[in-house]
Structure 1
């Protein structure tokens, strides 16, 4: 055990024995932090109803053409990638609480700029700012929640990060039915504003306070969160906590969780979730759904229900089991999805991408409708499978597996990887389908899902019921 590990272990409070009921304020603090991911989800979902509204906008309001609409949807991922880097720097220097408070500023400012937009560049600038806030929130909220939660509920509370994201997306879809783009942007200012008010009343995480040698504040924060009856030991004062050094990458306690965290983010984006979401409205239209926006709401409801189910069983079933089960479900459904396109698009490989969006079937109408319902079933199964495991768990594990003194840098790189992969997959998906055809693209996603299952079984440790210090000790081999 290195001196840094000894210090980190000594600095952390230990619960007294006995079955004393835990404090409930930890749930309020987790909810306050999770309003950041709710805002993040609303920002992601905003483009879906806003783009059709902006296409119909009459002067002097800005109006989006095809190229501008593409950037309006995609530029959020670039802002979020930058936000991941900034969040990794902030979380270690300003702390977890102040970082969450800081991310409310670009959220509110970005939506305010969109609300006041008179030109397309103002719309894109506002989206870039909200993307920056998304990157910070997607990094800091899981870290804050994992550090305030006790092991028995860390999976439940950590999974609520992804749950709040999909609830935010669903809220944007539902509000988009009744609000045009300006008022929808005004509504986007509400969750981050509410988060700012609540977070002002919440404490910093005890672990971060201890690294700053603020033992009295850490004890007060722990009693606020977990209750005064827990009987926390007064931790000894240790040497100043060192930041991340490149030489530490030789340590298994650093490079093992780092490799796992980055790989989880890569596999999450290569699973094909963006491709499935890209086709959602087209598939529902093939199944004779009259209102294509209803398709978005149905997809959102499925995500919310199954992410909530994952949160409820996370601390019982464990992370590895749910990841493996999720991967197997996605393998089956992505393969079936590819088979649907193979049966309905058996033409030559030089068709344009526009042609690929509308399956051309030589089957009779009834058979074609039946195949479309097969696609709807496969798509819903895929989304449900993703929501149970590969949606929430990579974010949860990212917040659990890194030692305290490298958490900012390591989680920043993981978030940067996730958002850059999301941008690349979204932008290059059209080209991939032209080369491989849609069925080839989905079968490739199925192959990545198979690799992700093998990776889970052989490389990902189980973290349920363990303290963050026990997880670090596992990677160190002690």
Structure 2
């Protein structure tokens, strides 16, 4: 009985850690949702966004990017697995914010904004799918719902740090993306086509990283 309890405790620990790692994508989604709030006034002051139309487009392009993010994530989830899909979510964030921080021209800003929102759309699809497959029935609702605090946590640094020159905030996001990729690669198992028992066995192999 004690051995069974100890095994269950270890399994739950692995589950919590893997879920938190997966939710780092939700952190980046929150960052993206809040980004335009401090960024637009800063870009106006420096003459990057010069007209009301430019400001409106930059603020509203999220809807366009998110439309494509879900189907792209669905393609990776179905063909390459949930783990690969989550890792691919980080790529449009890195490239998109890199383009935005360059402040080269208005077309670059627009394209960068679309890419970051593609990443947000990919996260909104792939992360809940992964966590739902990973979790036992009694913990599934709670672990999927943790995405909301992480989204709020992503909104905090962009508003607290601001977007002056785009550098500090972008460095924070790039750091999160890099760590997320490493953690997902090393610390979480694939769930595609596997039962909870098979996933638990995979957890045992990953346990040394947790």
With normalisation by structure 2, the TM-score equals 0.86
Q: How does 1:281-292 map to 2 (within 5 A)?
A: none
Give the whole-Å Cα distance in 1 for the aligned partners of 2:176 and 2:51: 30
Matched position secondary structure for 2:194: helix
Q: How does 1:186-201 map to 2 (within 5 A)?
A: 186-201=171-186
Report the structure number with the largest CA radius of gyration: 1
Structure 1 residue 166 corresponds to structure 2 residue 152: yes
Given the alignment, which residue of 62, 71, 92 partners 1:85? 71
Query: Which segments of structure 1 move beyond 6 Å, counting only runs of 4 or more?
Result: none
Matched position secondary structure for 2:186: coil
Q: Deviations over 1:299-319 (max 9, x none)?
A: xxxxxxxxxxxxxxxxxxxxx
Given the alignment, which residue of 119, 126, 131 partners 2:112? 126
Give the helix-richer structure, 1 or 2.
2
Given the alignment, which residue of 175, 185, 202 partners 1:221? 202
Give the whole-Å Cα distance in 1 for the aligned partners of 2:50 and 2:176: 26
- Quick check: 1:29–1:202 contact (8 Å CA) kept in 2? yes
Label 1:147 to 1:64 Cα distance change in 2 as closer, same or farther (>3 A).
Answer: farther
Structure 1 residue 51 corresponds to structure 2 residue 40: yes
Structure 1 residue 204 corresponds to structure 2 residue 167: no
Give the whole-Å Cα distance in 2 for the aligned partners of 1:202 and 1:209: 19
Q: Cα RMSD over matched residues?
A: 2.3
Q: How does 1:70-469 map to 2 (within 5 A)?
A: 70-176=56-162, 179-183=163-167, 184-206=169-191, 208-210=192-194, 218=199, 220-223=201-204
Deviation at 1:170? Answer: 2.1
Matched position secondary structure for 1:122: helix
Q: Per chain length, whose mean CA-contact separation is higher, i.e. which structure has more relative contact order (CA < 8 Å, sep 6+)?
A: 2
- Quick check: 2:134–2:199 contact (8 Å CA) kept in 1? no
Structure 1 residue 38 corresponds to structure 2 residue 24: no
Deviation at 1:29? Answer: 0.9
Q: Deviations over 1:111-157 (max 9, x none)?
A: 11111121011111100000111111111011111111222322221
Q: List alignment gaps of at least 5 residues for structure 1.
A: 1-17, 227-478
Q: List alignment gaps of at least 5 residues for structure 2.
A: none
With normalisation by structure 1, the TM-score equals 0.39
Matched position secondary structure for 2:104: coil
